[in-house]
Amino acid sequence: MQKIIFLNSLVLIIIFLIFYFNSKKSNNSNDHFSKEEYYIEDNLERYLKYYKQNENKSFSDIVREINCNLDYQFYNGVERSNSLDKILILVNKHYTLDKEFEGIDLVKVDDKFAYYDKEYYMNKEAYENFIKMWLDANLEGCDFGIYSAYRSYDRQVFLYNNYVAVDGAEKADTYSARAGSSEHQTGLAIDLKSRTKKTDYFETTKEYDWLLKNSYKYGFILRYKENTEYLTGYQFEPWHYRYCGVECATYIYENNITFEEYYEYFVKNK
C-alpha cells in the first residue's frame, strides 16, 4: 500500500515538474521574443508556434520570418494590399491588388528616360525623385533608362502566362509575379538598364554600383536583394527599384532589412 502511495506521489511530482519547466520555457521564450528589435506583440502566438516547429532557428530569425508571414505559403492566406498606405503600400505574394487597381497618381515618363522607344507611366512623386536621382547620377558619368514602370493587371496576366508557357509555373513563380502581386501595378516600381554598358547583367555596371550607394537618398530601394528570396518570394533583381520615400528608404538602407519587415513593423503595426 505504502509503495502505491509512494509511486502515485512520484508520478504527481514528475507531472508537476514537466508542467513547471514547460511553462518556464514558454515564459522564457516570450521574454526572448519581446526583447527582439522588430517584435510585434500581436504576432507573439505565431512566433511561439513557429518556434516549436523550428527550434534550431534564432529568435531574431523567427521574428523576421513571421513578420514576413512565412508561416503562410506564398499565395496562400492572401490579404488585400492597403491602398491607404500610399507610397508605403506593400504588394507581394501575401498582399495583392485587385484587377481594378490602376496605379497611384500616375504621370507619363519623358522619352529621354526611357530605354526602349515605348511609353511608360509611374507615380508622380516617384518620378520627380527619379529625375533628381538620374541627374545626379548623370553628373557622375552614369546613364540608365527605364524599361518597365507601371504595368496593369491585364499586362501582368499576359507576361506571367507567357513565362509559364516557357518555363512552367514553378520556375516562373521565382522571377515573375502573378497578376495582382506585382508592385509594378502601383506605379512605384521601375526596372532599369545601363546605357553606358550594354549588358543584361545590370549588377556588373557602374550604374548599379552608384544606385546601390545612393538610391536611398532619393527614396528608392533595391527591392529584391541577394539572399532575401525566402523572405520576399523573388530572386535577386539588381534592376528593380521601388520608391517608398526617403525616410523609409534610408532606414532600409542603414538597417539592411527587407521592405516586408519594414512594412509589418513600421506601417501595418503603427
Q: Which of residues 225-264 bind Zn ion (CB under 5 A)?
A: 240
The nearer residue to Zn ion, 173 or 191, going by C-beta atoms, is 191
> Whole-angstrom Cα distance, residue 229 to residue 223?
11
* 62 or 91: CB nearest Zn ion: 91
Minimum CB distance to Zn ion, residue 249 (Å):
16
Integer angstrom CA distances of residue 156 from 121, 178, 205, 247: 15, 7, 28, 30
| Site membership for Zn ion, residue 173 (CB under 5 A) | no
Question: Using the rule CB under 5 A, is 223 a contact of Zn ion?
Answer: no
Stretch that binds Zn ion, among 11-19, 20-28, 66-74, 187-195 (CB under 5 A): 187-195
Question: DSSP labels for 225-257?
Answer: -TT-HHHHSS---TTEEEE--HHHHHHHHHHT-
Q: Does 183 bind Zn ion (CB under 5 A)?
A: no
- Candidate segments 6-14, 21-29, 97-105, 191-199, binder of Zn ion by CB under 5 A: 191-199
- Helix (H) or strand (E) segment spanning residue 27: helix 2-34
Contact segment (CB under 5 A) with Zn ion among 20-28, 79-87, 151-159, 183-191 equals: 183-191
* Contact flags string 72-101 toward Zn ion, x per CB under 5 A: ------------------------------
Say if CB 256 and CB 63 are below 8 A apart. Answer: no
Q: Contacts with Zn ion: how many residues (CB under 5 A)?
A: 2
CA–CA distance, 146 with 190 (Å, rounded to integer): 7
Grid coordinates representing 223?
A: 527591392
Of 94 and 151, the one with the shorter C-beta distance to Zn ion is: 151
Q: Rounded to whole angstroms, how far apart are CA atoms 77 and 93?
A: 9
192 vs 248 by CB, closer to Zn ion: 192
Contacts of 241 (CB under 8 A, 6+ apart): 189, 190, 191, 192, 211, 215, 220, 221, 222, 223
- Give the binding site for Zn ion (CB under 5 A): 191, 240
